[in-house]
Amino acid sequence: MAEKLTFALAGNPNSGKTTIFNNLVGAREHVGNWPGVTVEKKSGTIKNNGREIEIVDLPGTYSLTAFSMEEIIARDFIVEQKPDVVINIVDASNLERNLYLTVQLRELGAKIVVALNMHDLAGQRGIRIDAARLEQLLGVAVVPTVGNKNKGMEPLLQAALAVADGRKALPEAPIRYGKELEDHLTDLIVIAEGDAELAQACGAKWLALKALEKDKAVVEKLERSSVWPKLSAELRKVEKHLEDIYDDTADTIIADARYGFIAGAVKEAVKRPSENRLTVSDKIDKVVTNRFLGLPIFLLAMWLTFKLTFTVGEIPMGWLETFFAWLGGLFDPMADGLLKSLLVDGVIGGVGGVLGFFPLIIMLFLAIAFLEDSGYMARAAFVMDRVMNKVGLHGKSFIPMIVGFGCTVPAIYATRTLENRKDRMITMLVAPLMSCGARLPVYVLLIGAFFATKSENYQANLLTGIYVLGIVLAIVMAMVFRKTLLPGQGAPFVMELPPYRLPTFKGVLIHTWERGWLYLKKAGTVILAVSIIFWAAMTFPGADNEQYETLLEQVETTYAAQVEIDKTEALQAEYEEAKGALENTMASRDLEASIAGSVGKGMEPFIRPLGFDWRIGISLLAGFAAKEVVVGTMGTIYSLGGEEDEESAPLREKIGKDPAYSPAMALALMVFTLIYLPCMVAMAAWHKEAGSRWKWTLFLIAYTTALAWVMSFAAYHLAPAFGIEKTNPIAITQEAEQPWASFLQHPAPADQAAPAEVATPESYEPQLDVPTAVPAAEPKIEAPIGKEP
């Protein structure tokens, strides 16, 4: 008995492979109720009676041809790695189609155990499967399982161990391809066996079959073999003969033979109800995939998701905002300095700003997990598939795009399901337009800041609109690319509609938590690092504030002298106002003179037509590290340059009251964030998957940036037509005079000589070498951040 075994899980997409993998290994791989979730192979190790068993979850495939990436991954693994057993997961309620893969696995010569999964569902539909009979007919071990209820796992594992150890006696049950073909196969096998190494690695019969099917990968292998001249001559002869007899190609004849084998086995071992009952799934599908109702229902599902996100997520979000404000307040006793600024403005302002949205993210992921696990997302893909086909794109393209609602990186990997290079490239180009979860905090921040007075329905409409805009743009751009850069035709695709399942509470919670945990992990790693880096960029080198520091000293000296003769609260308030205004002015000057400030100022001419200023420019630049950082950077900007008395206010309020911004600008910024280039990690994945060709990567950067600019420009300037103002109705306007100037006009006490520090307008002017208390030469920098016109 081998001490170490390898079991591979193979099956059609959505047959429940990943669920069984999770049950066996105990992992929590993402399980989605739509085809194409597993693109890469995953593996896990378990121990059984001291033996180590590696379980490998192969990508879902319908067959083992070499047309798509997942088929190649699955096939190469079985041929090259030679797992001890292939556990073939089949959907018991859809046996005929699933067994096609089983037959191909048998052709490969693999040791197979068939898991008759979703056995209960088949039972509910009145389908009775005689597993023992099927075992005899197929010549493979058959074990009924119910993956989502964790049933049949131990028998499955034991059957696999028995097959691996050769303890399970199974009949031969050869697959017959018809007399004509069988005769030819015998000849071809003899020739193929001439290359002993290749024949041993792949099996001579399999090589002969694949060569007849004109399997590209196998033919390429054979072309390099010494037997190829003889084999190719024989193949031509066979093909001609078969065409003469059947008037069809060899691959069709082979496929027919396989289906014939399956049909026979199923007829023998499966009993179906006589009447054709309409299942509950069928009834629901009649409505949700209806030609006219399908799209509105999809939009309604999205709208309800966002409404739920806002309504329920808003409450704990408020708690978190209060918590971070309180946390920042804990540092008040700490002496002012770089370290305090780093902790309060950089870490709490940046990371806290992002973490504040955690409840909303959780709510969104909860809703998406429910839609996925119930099977609705597959219907959404089905509905969109029609639209995609109309624009000449492969129906499979929408699956990566739906994945993109969560994160762009797996969406890019999911394009591997597209076998055609052009289809794949188009899908990769448009997938980043789907709004990923990281962009949600930006939308919520802006909607909360500028549309807070509107109803919850209005806010949900706006958010749905942004997501729909992403989908519409993706479709339009796909059409443009199809007609210009990458012409071709979309291949037909059978979109599977898995039966609806009531999601398990545990399953939905696990999926939600997994995604939520990634958000937290990202906040604690990349967002923390980027916040610190951008804090440094926004702090150094700083401005020359000597004049203002002197003014501050004078304000303090004046107050110290005045408080002796005037102990009123009015003086105290006047002093605090003057001091605060001076401190804010210095902070604003520091920010503007910083590295990031200079870069932002450099960007301003390009983004000003969109209603953005240099601070938005810095945030968008930081958003390239991760989209959530747009929010984090805004948090740091307002924390560094914010008003003393407003430091505890949530970021939403601070931005909402800023006269430099408006609801129209917020709309333009949401549109820009949706479209402009994806984050660094997504770009790295994109570059790799595009074959590391810089030409395409640079094209992606150029087209997303240009499209973002044009769309944001349109949004900003067309917004008033939809009742979205270009001015901020709730802005706090800038005061005309600087409070410290009036404070310093307090007369010096009569009984003491006016000291040099106790400035009067006349006395401090020459000392400071500035024309007035309000330096006219630099009027803009007088305004604290958040109050700039």
Partner 1 sequence: MQTAIVLTIIVFSVGWFGYRLYRTATAKEGECAGCCGCGCGKDPLADYRREKDRTAE
Interaction with partner 1 in 573-632: which residues (CB under 8 A)?
625-626
Size of the site for partner 1 (CB under 8 A): 39
- Contact call for residues 388 and 479 (beta carbons, < 8 A): no
* Cross-sheet strand order for the sheet of 51-57: 42-48, 51-57, 4-11, 85-91, 112-117, 141-144
* Other beta carbons within 10 Å of 730: 14
Span near partner 1 by CB under 8 A; candidates 107-115, 168-176, 312-320, 521-529: 521-529
Task: Report the nearest approach of partner 1 to the CB of residue 687 (Å).
Answer: 8
Q: Which stretch binds partner 1 (CB under 8 A): 23-31, 153-161, 196-204, 392-400?
A: 23-31
Figure out which of the listed residues 236, 521, 608, 693 binds partner 1, where binding follows CB under 8 A: 521
Rule CB under 8 A: is residue 780 a binding residue for partner 1?
Answer: no
Residue 284 found at the interface with partner 1 (CB under 8 A): no
Interaction with partner 1 in 362-421: which residues (CB under 8 A)? Answer: 407, 409-410, 413
DSSP string covering 528-572: HHHHHHHHHHHHSS----HHHHHHHHHHHHHHHHHHHH---HHHH
Q: How many CB atoms lie within 10 A of CB 318?
A: 14
The one segment of 25-33, 237-245, 260-268, 654-662 that binds partner 1 by CB under 8 A: 25-33
CB contact burial 574-586 (16+ within 10 A = b; e otherwise): bbebbbbbbbbbb
Given candidates 3, 26, 274, 776, which one binds partner 1 under the rule CB under 8 A? 26
Please tell me whether residue 125 binds partner 1 under the rule CB under 8 A: no
Query: CA nearest 256: which of 176, 185, 187?
Result: 176
Instruction: Decide the pairing of beta strands 42-48 and 51-57.
Output: antiparallel
Which CB contacts under 8 angstroms, 24+ apart, belong to 751-756? 752/561, 755/557, 755/561
Listing DSSP states for 473-523 in one string gives HHHHHHHHHHHTTS---PPP-----PPP----HHHHHHHHHHHHHHHHHHI
Query: 21 or 370, CB closer to partner 1?
Result: 21
DSSP-derived letter for residue 114 is E
Task: Report residue 658: phi and psi, to 5°.
Answer: -75, 120
51 touching partner 1, by CB under 8 A: no
By CB under 8 A, the residues from 642 to 681 that bind partner 1 are 680-681
Q: Contacting partner 1 (CB under 8 A), which of 10, 38, 41, 250?
A: 41
Residue 48 C-beta: closest distance to partner 1, Å:
8
Shortest CB 45 distance to partner 1, Å = 6
Task: Please identify, among the stretches 21-29, 293-301, 379-387, 747-755, the one whose residues bind partner 1 according to the rule CB under 8 A.
Answer: 21-29
- For residues 483 and 161, what is the distance between their CA atoms, to the nearest angstrom? 54
DSSP H helical segments within 195-350, as ranges? 196-202, 204-212, 216-223, 228-246, 250-269, 280-288, 294-329, 338-341
Contact between 510 and partner 1 per CB under 8 A? no
Closest to partner 1 by CB, 432 vs 498, is 432
Contact 141, 168 (CB under 8 A): yes
In the region spanning residues 154 to 213, those forming contacts with partner 1, defined by CB under 8 A, are none
Told to check if 46 binds partner 1 by CB under 8 A, we report: yes
Residue 510 CB, nearest distance to partner 1 (Å)? 12
CB closer to partner 1 out of 504 and 525: 525
* CB distance 104 to 63 below 8 Å: yes
Cβ distance to partner 1 smaller for residue 66 or 436: 436
- Asked whether 354 and 544 are in contact (CB, 8 A), the reply is no
Q: Establish if 28 lies at the interface with partner 1 (CB under 8 A).
A: yes
Give yes or no for a contact between 92 and 129, defined as CB atoms under 8 angstroms apart. Answer: yes
Amino acid identity, position 510: I
25 binds partner 1 (CB under 8 A): yes
Q: Please choose, out of 268-276, 357-365, 523-531, 720-728, the segment that lies near partner 1 by the rule CB under 8 A.
A: 523-531
Among 684, 732, 748, 754, binds partner 1 (CB under 8 A): 684
Residue 747, preceding peptide bond in cis (omega within 30° of 0): no
In angstroms, give the least distance from the CB of 527 to partner 1: 7
How many other β-carbons are positioned within 10 Å of the β-carbon of residue 6? 20
If one counts every other C-beta atom within 10 angstroms of the C-beta of residue 188, the result is 22
For residue 473, which of 698, 684, 625, 672 has the smallest C-alpha distance?
A: 672
**Nearest residue to 62 (alpha-carbon basis) of 22, 106, 98:** 98
Which stretches does DSSP call E strand in 49-184? 51-57, 85-91, 112-117, 128-129, 141-144
Cβ atoms of 521 and 622 within 8 Å: the answer is no
Rounded to the nearest whole angstrom, what is the least distance from the CB of residue 427 to partner 1 in the complex? 18
Residue with Cβ nearer partner 1 (237 or 688): 688
Nearer to partner 1, 339 or 714 (CB): 339
Query: Which of these ranges, 219-227, 519-527, 660-668, 772-780, lies near partner 1 under the rule CB under 8 A?
Result: 519-527
Q: Which is nearer to partner 1, 46 or 325 (CB)?
A: 46
- Smallest distance, partner 1 to C-beta of residue 531, A: 9
Output 207 or 351, the one with its CB closest to partner 1.
351
CB of 477 to partner 1, least distance (A): 24
Q: Which of 338, 494, 706, 718 binds partner 1 (CB under 8 A)?
A: 338
| Closest distance to partner 1 from the beta carbon of 483 (Å) | 32
Nearest distance from C-beta of residue 409 to partner 1, angstroms = 5
| Contact partners, residue 430, CB within 8 Å, separation at least 6 | 401, 473, 474, 475, 477, 478, 481
- Given the rule CB under 8 A, which of 41-49, 185-193, 633-641, 752-760 is the region that contacts partner 1? 41-49
Minimum Å gap between C-beta 440 and partner 1 is 16
Candidates 761, 746, 754, 757; CA nearest to 554 is 757
Residues between 525 and 554 with contacts to partner 1, criterion CB under 8 A: 525-530, 532-533, 536
> Nearer to partner 1 by C-beta: 291 or 695?
695
CB of 134 to partner 1, least distance (A): 31
CB of 365 vs partner 1, minimal distance in Å: 14
Tracing tokens 């930081």 back to the chain, one arrives at 622
CA distance 670 to 442: 7
Whole-number minimum distance, CB 123 to partner 1, in Å?
A: 31
Among 501, 522, 601, 726, binds partner 1 (CB under 8 A): 522
State the pairing for strand pair 42-48/85-91.
unpaired
Question: Judged by CB, which is closer to partner 1: 80, or 275?
Answer: 80
Nearer to partner 1, 479 or 529 (CB): 529
For residues 62 and 97, the answer to whether their CB atoms sit within 8 Å is yes
19 vs 728, beta carbon nearer partner 1: 19
Other CB atoms within a 10 A radius of the CB of residue 40 amount to 13
For residue 633, the one-letter residue type is T
The Cα–Cα gap between 561 and 785 comes to: 31
Q: How far is the CB of 540 from partner 1 (least distance, A)?
A: 9
Residue number, 46 or 741, with CB nearest to partner 1 = 46
Binding part of the chain for partner 1, among 27-35, 263-271, 283-291, 317-325 by CB under 8 A, reads 27-35
With beta carbons less than 8 A apart as the criterion, state whether 782 and 650 touch. no
Q: Does 759 bind partner 1 (CB under 8 A)?
A: no
Q: Is 701 in the site for partner 1 (CB under 8 A)?
A: no
Report in angstroms how near the CB of residue 198 gets to partner 1 at its nearest: 25
Residue ranges binding partner 1 (CB under 8 A):
25-29, 40-41, 44-47, 337-339, 342, 407, 409-410, 413, 518, 521-522, 525-530, 532-533, 536, 625-626, 680-681, 684-685, 687-688
